[in-house]
Every structure is written in C-alpha cells, then in structure tokens.
Amino acid sequence: MFASEPKPEAKLLTVMRLLRWDKPAGRLILMIPALWAVFLAGRGTPPAPLVGVIVLGTLATSAAGCVVNDLWDRDIDPEVERTRSRPLASRSLTVQTAIGVAFICFICAAILALYLNPLSFWLSVAAVPIIICYPLAKRVFPIPQLVLSIAWGFAVLISWSAELSRLEIATWLLWAATVFWTLGFDTVYAMSDREDDLRLGVNSSAIFFGDFSANAVGIFFVLTSIFLAATGINLHLHFGFWLAICIATIFWGGQYNQLRQKDLPKPVYGQIFRQNVWVGFILLAGMIAGAIF
C-alpha cells in the first residue's frame, strides 16, 4: 500500500501513466461518442467553445476513471500480465497520491460541467457513481462491460443535451449504438485477459460468453450498425454518413473474422481495440459530412 515516491521528474511521468496519457486510445475512444452526439445535435456545426468543454471534460473524466479503477484493482493488477506494470500495481506511486490525482481530475470535470445547462450538469453528476463503482462490477456482475457501456452512454446524453437542452429519439438511438459498440470493443479487450481473470475469479464478458465471445462481438457490432443507421434515418443524414457506416461495417466484419481464429496472439486484441478508435473517427467525419452536405 505504501510506496516510495519517485523523483519529481519521474513522478510526473508515473502520474501520466496512471492517467493512461501514455496510451491515448482509451482516452480518445470515450471522447468519440461525446463528439458524435454534439456534432449530430448541432447539425454538424456546434459552438466551438462547447466542443472544447466536451473534449476537456471527457479527458478529465476518463482520467479520473482510470485512477479510480487502479485504486480498486491495486491488489488484482499485479496478478494480471497486462496490468502488473501500472503505477499502483507496481507500487511506484502511493495510494495517497493516486487519491489526490483522482480528486483533482473530478474537480476539473466539475468545473467544466458548470459551463453546461442544468440538464447536462445533472446528467454529469449522475454518471459519477457509475464511474466510481464500475471497477467493482467485475466482482459481483457477470458482464461488467455492460456497466462500462452504460457509463460510455452518458457521454452521448450529456453532450446531446448540452447542445439542445433536451433529449430526443435520435439521442437514444445513438445511445444504444454507443452501448453496443462499447460492449463490442471492450469484450475484445477482455478476451486478452480471460485466463488471468479466470484464475483470479473475477468476471468479464469474455468469460460469460466463453467460446461464443467472437460471435457476441460480431452481434454487438451488427447492432451498432443498425442503431447508427436508425439514427441517420431519424436525422435525415446524407451520403457522407452512409459511406462512413459502410466503411465501419467493413472494418467490424474484418475484426470479427480475426476473432474467430483460434490461438489468436494477445497483441491482436489490443490492435483491434485501437482500430476502433479510427473507426469512431471515420464515423464522426461521416456524421459531420452527412449533417452539413
């Protein structure tokens, strides 16, 4: 629990690793649904200051979530190959420092939330308990990735209401697409840890679905495409959006075919996860184009 603090320069780099800023894919992949929502709600041209607040807010929130996750899992992470080098797992930072960093992140997110309208502000508040309790889900809930997906879905609700001060049918269609997309890519992420999680007795969607995991991911991505298409129909989006969906669906089909292979090397799961960041940005570009042109 008690670690010797590194020198200031090294400590700063260690804190950056605690916040996962050395691995931007995880930060960007939370930002993407928030940007989907604000650009669709703003018909492709939301106010620049609002976009800035949302970008900074997702960075602060995801950073806080990473620290909270590592605090809960500081005694589990040393037993998992992928996570044993994390700062709290390796005892290169103290618990007290991590709590202080999490507090600063939440304060930054709260200050940014004050810029939002009341509906968005209170949705931001409602998301906090899910962010804090998500790491506990793997101990008591068979599909903890669903809890993460719901947390990701708040990014859509907050950003959409920040632009329009209300939620619409299209909001919930995009929310459903985000939930299924997150279930898909986070199940892929969990597949790389399946042996360690089974040994430690913690839950994951990869364990729950077992040999059906690749098919489950494929179904989640199909449902993502369906709900994205329903969003596009509801908002009367144009060609650019439909082109982006076609490209995304091709990528997801390729990922599904990879996951069906036996004895897939563990690094491939991480590659598929990172590939979904690019898929998300392709869809964002299509949403902007489909709303404007």
**Residue pLDDT, tens place only, 157-216:** 999 999 999 999 999 999 999 999 999 999 999 999 999 999 999 999 999 999 999 999
152 vs 108: CA distance, rounded Å: 19
> 170, 58 in Cβ contact below 8 A?
no
Secondary structure of residue 288 in the 3-state scheme: helix
Q: How far apart are the first and last CA of the chain?
A: 56
Q: Indicate if the pLDDT at residue 114 is higher than 80.
A: yes
Q: CB neighbours of 290 closer than 8 A, spacing ≥ 6? A: 44, 232, 237, 238, 239, 240, 241, 242, 244
Instruction: Give the pLDDT mean for 223-246.
Output: 98
Instruction: Give Cα separations from 291 to 36, 101, 141, 286 (angstroms).
Output: 11, 39, 39, 8
At residue 272's C-alpha, the angle toward residues 124 and 258, to 5°, is 140
Secondary structure of residue 274 in the 3-state scheme: helix
Comparing C-alpha atoms, which of 32, 24, 54 is closest to residue 280? 32
The encoded tokens of residue 213 equal 């995991």
Share above pLDDT 70 across residues of the chain, in percent, rounded to a whole number: 97
pLDDT band, residue 5 (cuts 50/70/90): low
Total number of residues shown for the chain: 293
> 69, 134 in Cβ contact below 8 A?
yes
Q: CB neighbours of 279 closer than 8 A, spacing ≥ 6? A: 247, 248, 251, 252
Share above pLDDT 90 across residues of the chain, in percent, rounded to a whole number: 80
If one counts every other C-beta atom within 10 angstroms of the C-beta of residue 231, the result is: 24
The pLDDT value recorded for residue 2 is 45
Instruction: Give Cα separations from 30 to 36, 195, 235, 258 (angstroms).
Output: 11, 26, 23, 24
Eight-class DSSP state of 117 = -
pLDDT band, residue 6 (cuts 50/70/90): low
252 vs 180: CA distance, rounded Å: 12
Q: Indicate if the pLDDT at residue 63 is higher than 80.
A: yes
Tokens 């990014």 belong to: 155
Q: Cα 9 from chain centroid?
A: 29
> 213, 191 in Cβ contact below 8 A?
yes
The encoded tokens of residue 131 equal 């962010």
Q: Indicate if the pLDDT at residue 71 is higher than 60.
A: yes
pTM for the structure as a whole: 0.94
Instruction: Give Cα separations from 272 to 12, 143, 258, 259 (angstroms).
Output: 30, 20, 9, 9
